[in-house]
């Protein structure tokens, strides 16, 4: 399904002709031969991400274009999972948890006002070897986020970190092949949890997130044991529709 290479703390997930949707830096829809996950130094801070990513890819010897994610997790902790037509590769670190209490405590030790940039990050690259519509690809991204959230809640009681990112991909759109002779669109219109691709994606995300956390932590830390992060203490105003 793909070729995965790691050089100089840069992971290249090579899958030519893939249609991607990224929630990361300069995200959105694009068709590229590869996706990258770049491990950054511990003291790394805001930089020119385009230049930095390009420099790190060049130094690693990778010249194929593609979406680039950044993580504070060493790539020795990257883990993959496959199920049916779907494959996921994950790096998971939770040093900067994003906590969403159902009864917010305005006196919480960490809040929006104290957040800094401290990359822990759960980064996921997920691909499906079948064509999907752009709407279904967006649904697949949501399905992956839901699975990531459920796994992290079970593992550590958090919903994510302050810098999570996911890239999902499917077989690329080939204009001459996208429709049958009857004019029907061959691309799958759905990718939610009840679909074959959605179910496989949920399983892949669950297994790869769990495996990456297990690789990095002897015991997954609780939010109270982490140094950085954010707690949403604000309340929204509810109104009738």
Q: Tell me the pLDDT tens digit for each residue of 64-77.
A: 999 999 999 999 99
Torsions phi, psi for 4 (to 5 deg): -115, 125
Q: What was the pLDDT predicted at 69?
A: 97
Are 235 and 104 in contact by the 8 Å Cβ rule? The answer is yes
Q: Output Rg (C-alpha) for the chain, integer angstroms.
A: 19
- Residue (of 53, 78, 76) closest to 66 by Cα position: 53
Q: Is residue 200 part of a domain?
A: yes
**pTM exceeds 0.75 for this model:** yes
pLDDT (mean) for 204-233: 83
Among 18-27, 75-84, 113-122, 185-194, which stretch is predicted with the lowest mean pLDDT? 113-122
Give the chain's domain count: 1
Confidence of residue 80 (pLDDT cuts 50, 70, 90): very high
Domain containing residue 69: 3-92+121-219
Are 198 and 148 in contact by the 8 Å Cβ rule? The answer is no
Q: Is residue 59 part of a domain?
A: yes
Q: Is residue 114 part of a domain?
A: no
Q: Is residue 112 part of a domain?
A: no
List, for residues 17-76, the tens digit of each pLDDT value: 999 999 999 999 999 999 999 999 877 876 899 999 999 999 999 999 999 999 999 999
Q: Is residue 239 part of a domain?
A: no
Q: Is residue 116 part of a domain?
A: no
Residue 78: pLDDT above 50?
A: yes
- Residue (of 114, 107, 35, 113) closest to 67 by Cα position: 35
């Amino acid at each position: 399904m793909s070729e995965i290479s790691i050089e100089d703390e840069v992971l290249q997930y090579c899958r030519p002709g893939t249609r991607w949707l990224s929630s990361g830096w300069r995200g959105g829809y694009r068709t590229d031969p590869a996706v990258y996950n770049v491990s950054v130094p511990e003291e790394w801070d805001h930089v020119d991400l385009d230049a930095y990513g390009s420099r790190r890819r060049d130094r690693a010897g990778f010249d194929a274009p593609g979406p680039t994610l950044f993580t504070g997790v060493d790539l020795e902790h990257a883990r993959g999972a496959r199920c049916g037509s779907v494959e996921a590769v994950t790096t998971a670190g939770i040093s900067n948890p994003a906590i969403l209490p159902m009864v917010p405590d305005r006196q919480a030790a960490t809040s929006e006002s104290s957040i800094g940039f401290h990359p822990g990050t759960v980064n996921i690259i997920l691909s499906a070897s079948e064509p999907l519509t752009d709407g279904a690809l967006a649904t697949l991204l949501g399905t992956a986020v839901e699975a990531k959230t459920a796994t992290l809640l079970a593992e550590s009681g958090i919903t994510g970190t302050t810098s999570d990112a996911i890239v999902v991909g499917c077989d690329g759109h080939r204009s001459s092949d996208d429709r049958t002779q009857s004019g029907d669109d061959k691309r799958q219109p759905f990718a939610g949890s009840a679909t074959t691709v959605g179910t496989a994606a949920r399983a892949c995300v669950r297994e790869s997130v769990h495996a990456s956390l297990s690789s990095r932590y002897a015991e997954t830390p609780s939010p109270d044991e982490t140094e950085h992060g954010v707690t949403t203490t604000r309340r929204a105003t509810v109104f009738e529709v």
